Amino acid sequence: MRIETLAIHAGRNPDPATGAIAPPIYLSTTFEREADGSYPHDYLYTRTNNPNRASLEQCLTALEGGVAAAAFASGSAATAAVFQALAPGDHVIAPNEAYSGTPLLLNSVFATWGLEVTFVDMTCVAEVQQAIQPNTRLLWIETPSNPMLKITNLSEITALAHQTGAICVCDNTWATPLLQQPFQHGVDLVVHSTTKYLSGHSDVLGGAVIARTDSERFQTIRHLQTTGGAVPSPFDCWLTLRGIQTLPYRVKAHADHAYSVAKFLHQHPAVEAVHYPGLPHHPGHSVAVEQMRGFGGMLSVQIKGGRDRAFAVAANVKLFSRATSLGSVESLIEHRASIEGAGTRTPDNLLRLSIGLEHPDDLIADLEQALN
């Protein structure tokens, strides 16, 4: 089935008790055993499994074309489980351009636990190859990257990982499975912050790890999910599954609107640079064309005049909301460097834009009046 159909039907069946088309929310924390001690429905305790979580995991597995998924309470919890599935002394190669929470986890949590990490430009294959060590066990990819939208070649980096016996993990949050299928390029695990495009309405927190094969590594992640207990609530799973039903059509509109906004900003005299892989001048444009089916709803813009001018533009928008997050129906704008704090690599004149589902002409008019 095509992804538009999977988004509606995967993980969903009419309720066997009532025939309800919309799935019920199973709030029970525990499930009854039979007299012989068995669990005929395979549910014991909601930390280990829950019908709503099982439905969401089935849907995510189908969307990414994997074999299994583990849902978590947040994207950061999903990321942490991937790193925790390694052992002290193992080496990770991670991008120096990524969501700030990922290096924060590696540096402040797992470095003290004994995990080694090298941060490199993942768009440079030679730099990645040079960073490989005998104890390298995992290569982490984020493409498009946050917030500069760099594009990493999935096939090339995955090949490097497998040559050394390491696994390759891709954070596919920004592209979503609609625009990018990492498993088709040999990636071993896909991570999502389901808070963003998959849920799509800024009202539920969640994350997920999806596996290409039912490997021992994924079984460790599943063990960490159920034993550690960082699982989403039944209602969170229900909300995310509901949001996924409209994902294909939302993402297409996000991408179309972002392309229109990017073209407008690219020609505006107050703009220093626009970072959007759909623009032909973007350094990763050719790779994006090869491995993506669209360029997504995120873009970043650098404003002439530095930090103060960028803040002024963000302060004067009327339709965009000044808020952190992305992937929802409403358009958001933020000064990313001030969010990331000390040690940020993000340019001080950069604004990150999550383009929503408002009419693109209205978004452009709002940006134009703010820039002027």
DSSP lists the bridge partners of residue 352 as 300, 334
Residue ranges of alpha helices (H) inside the chain are 3-9, 51-64, 75-84, 101-105, 111-113, 125-131, 154-163, 176-179, 216-228, 234-244, 247-266, 285-291, 306-316, 336-340, 360-371
Q: Are 244 and 194 in contact (CB under 8 A)?
A: no
Is 42 labeled as catalytic in the residue annotation? no
Is 39 labeled as catalytic in the residue annotation? no
Is 99 labeled as catalytic in the residue annotation? yes
Residue type, 115: L
Q: How much is the pLDDT for 343?
A: 85
**Among 12, 43, 47, 304, the one annotated catalytic:** 47
Query: CA-to-CA distance for 234 and 229, rounded, in angstroms?
Result: 13
Handedness of CA 285, 291, 295, 298 (dihedral sign): negative
Query: CA-to-CA distance for 228 and 231, rounded, in angstroms?
Result: 8
Is 171 labeled as catalytic in the residue annotation? yes
Q: What are phi and psi of 351, to 5 degrees?
A: -115, 135
Query: CA-to-CA distance for 181 and 184, rounded, in angstroms?
Result: 6
Q: How much is the pLDDT for 355?
A: 98
| CB-side neighbour CA atoms (13 Å) of 137 | 15
Structure tokens at 120: 């490199």
10 Å Cβ neighbour count for 108? 9
247-371, superfamily in CATH?
A: Aspartate Aminotransferase, domain 1 (3.90.1150.10)
Q: How much is the pLDDT for 17?
A: 87
**Parts of the chain belonging to CATH 3.90.1150.10:** 247-371
Burial 322-342 (b: 16+ CB within 10 A, else e): eeeebbbebbbbbbbbeebee
Q: How much is the pLDDT for 41?
A: 87
User: Mean pLDDT, consecutive 10-residue segments, the chain of 372 residues?
Assistant: 97 92 95 90 93 98 98 98 98 97 96 97 98 98 98 98 97 98 98 98 98 97 97 98 98 98 98 98 98 98 98 98 97 95 92 98 98 96
Q: How much is the pLDDT for 76?
A: 98
**Among 171, 188, 236, 366, the one annotated catalytic:** 171
The strands making up 332-335's β-sheet, listed across from edge to edge, are: 271-275, 298-303, 350-354, 332-335, 321-322
**Parts of the chain belonging to CATH 3.40.640.10:** 3-244
Q: How much is the pLDDT for 256?
A: 98
**Among 150, 196, 212, 336, the one annotated catalytic:** 196
The strands making up 68-72's β-sheet, listed across from edge to edge, are: 68-72, 207-211, 189-192, 167-171, 136-142, 91-95, 116-120
**Among 26, 53, 90, 99, the one annotated catalytic:** 99
Q: How much is the pLDDT for 16?
A: 87
Domain 3-244 has CATH 3.40.640.10: yes
Q: Are 276 and 292 in contact (CB under 8 A)?
A: no
Query: CA-to-CA distance for 215 and 219, rounded, in angstroms?
Result: 6
